[in-house]
Structure 1
Amino acid sequence: MTAVKPTLRHERALLRDGVVRLACVDEVGRGALSGPVTIGMVVIDAATRTAPQGVRDSKLLTPEARERLAPRIRRWALSHAVGHAGPAEIDEFGIMTALRLAGHRALAQLEVMPDAVLLDGNHDYLTPPEQGGLFGSPLDLLDAVPPVSTMIKADMRCAAVAAASILAKTARDALMLELHAEHPEYGWAENKGYSAPAHIEALALHGPTVQHRRSWSLPGYAVAAEQLGIESHQPAAVPVETA
């Protein structure tokens, strides 16, 4: 079934409803075994034109298409930013808090502060506990964020959220290419830290690096550790994601 082309219809409805500047947000890397979790943001207002031709959820695009679109998106958006949270932060605070840290880092980089946020998914991980949010940690970077609304599959339906996903994906992929040069045995240039067979095989042979989320029950390594009588890391559920 062909995916529906995303539009700015929902974003424009929010802008007509009193929002002046809207930040649209998506994440990548939540289900990876290694590397950061990454948040992309684009800010639009009522004067923002239709999104660049070809913008889709980043998972539906080839790497080449994403690379072509990223600079066009940066020119198109009123403001844009990308934030990361690393494996050590994911291990210490959990994935949801790491998502908020990455999101706060992206918000802090924006040249213009939005007065509302549209977030892909069904969990508001951006709002700090002081504002009634969940997933608190000692590392909250911002005491307050603009009001957040969430939408499941916003990256498929909302063009500005899809644009944010492309910025997040291209930025994280570039980081994984750099890390591949340091640890080529894990194949991160191809799998970007996800659970591809070559990655799992390398985990079984070499164990995890500092770039792995070692609080998780890493496939391959957990089995190898048991066979070798090595104390494995504390198991945790590995979220499923393919982006």
Structure 2
Amino acid sequence: MTTLRKKRSSAPNLGVEKSFAVDGHRYIAGCDEVGRGALAGPVSVGIVVVDLAAATGLRGVRDSKLLQPGEREALVPRIRRWSVASAVGHATAAEIDAFGLMAALRAAGSRAWATVTEVVTPDAVILDGNHDWLSARSQGALFDTDGRTAPVESVGCTAPVHTRIKADLKCLSVAAASVLAKVERDALMVALAGDHPAFGWDGNKGYATEGHRSAIDAVGASEYHRKTWRLGTSAVPGMPRVESGG
């Protein structure tokens, strides 16, 4: 009985989201990304908007990394019905190579933002992590240090963004966003695996497994690989380190 109570209390809830009501906010968006540490495929950003005037809990939702594939897929239609608006945006490997990871994350988030704002404009956003890569930037901030110009999105997030470490474990809207992004990105990688069977994307989803790196050594990188990253088994000076997370 004690174990069950502990497990239930650890589930994400709407406590953080509802704290925004004291400032008069009603529509709160949770946002999370997946694919940041992959060698191949897009970075994908999920946004889920809840109506504080009507939202209740949603059983079974956890950070996507804590769920089995079948559990995540079963949650997608429930999350879509539960939320006021939801969307997933993507930025390609080519965009990551051309503009850098942070600009690509912002582009993917802006694409998701544009979709949800067709339904409702959130009053505030809870973003997983400690760095706000989502907020719309001025033209002058769209330049990397090496002079590259990041993609300028026609619609960017203009609502206040509140970063929160481990928000995907605590905030229900953020956990729901992580599930949508993970399911959609995984499906994209499985679809690509049919034409690129050597890389095992149906299993590794583009992440840096030993088998994936070895396959790149054997057959070379594909058009879906992040070519500015260290891809094979040998270290290359100056290549970015790859994160192991989602």
Task: Name the TM-score, length of structure 2 as normaliser.
Answer: 0.88
Distance in 2 (CA, whole Å) between partners of 1:107 and 1:63 is 25
Q: Provide Cα deviations, 1:160-203, integer angstroms capped at 9, x if missing partner.
A: 10000000000000100111011011000000000112211101
Relative distance call for 1:143 and 1:79 in structure 2 (3 A) is closer
Distance in 2 (CA, whole Å) between partners of 1:118 and 1:132 is 25
Report the CA distance between 1:138 and its aligned residue.
Answer: 3.9
Say whether the 8 Å CA contact 2:134–2:157 is kept in structure 1: no
Distance in 1 (CA, whole Å) between partners of 2:25 and 2:143 is 26
Report the CA distance between 1:112 and its aligned residue.
Answer: 1.2
Matched, 1:85 2:111: no
What is the identity, as a one-letter code, of the residue corresponding to 1:216?
A: W
What RMSD, in angstroms, separates the aligned Cα atoms of the two structures? 2.1
Aligned match for 1:191, one of 200, 204, 222: 204
Distance in 1 (CA, whole Å) between partners of 2:48 and 2:172 is 10
Report the CA distance between 1:219 and its aligned residue.
Answer: 3.1
Where does residue 96 of structure 1 map in the other structure?
Answer: 102
Relative distance call for 1:129 and 1:207 in structure 2 (3 A) is same
Distance in 2 (CA, whole Å) between partners of 1:235 and 1:6 is 39
Say which is worse superposed, 28-37 or 41-50, in terms of deviation.
Answer: 41-50
Aligned match for 1:168, one of 181, 202, 213: 181
Where structure 2 has 5 or more consecutive residues not aligned to the other structure, the ranges are 1-5
Q: Provide Cα deviations, 1:35-67, integer angstroms capped at 9, x if missing partner.
A: 000000000121233232110000000000000
Where structure 1 has 5 or more consecutive residues not aligned to the other structure, the ranges are 224-231
What is the identity, as a one-letter code, of the residue corresponding to 1:90?
A: I
Distance in 2 (CA, whole Å) between partners of 1:67 and 1:217 is 31
Distance in 2 (CA, whole Å) between partners of 1:143 and 1:79 is 16
Count of matched residue pairs: 233
Where does residue 228 of structure 1 map in the other structure?
Answer: none
Percent identical across equivalent pairs? 49
Q: Provide Cα deviations, 1:118-159, integer angstroms capped at 9, x if missing partner.
A: 100011001233299777644121365211110000001111
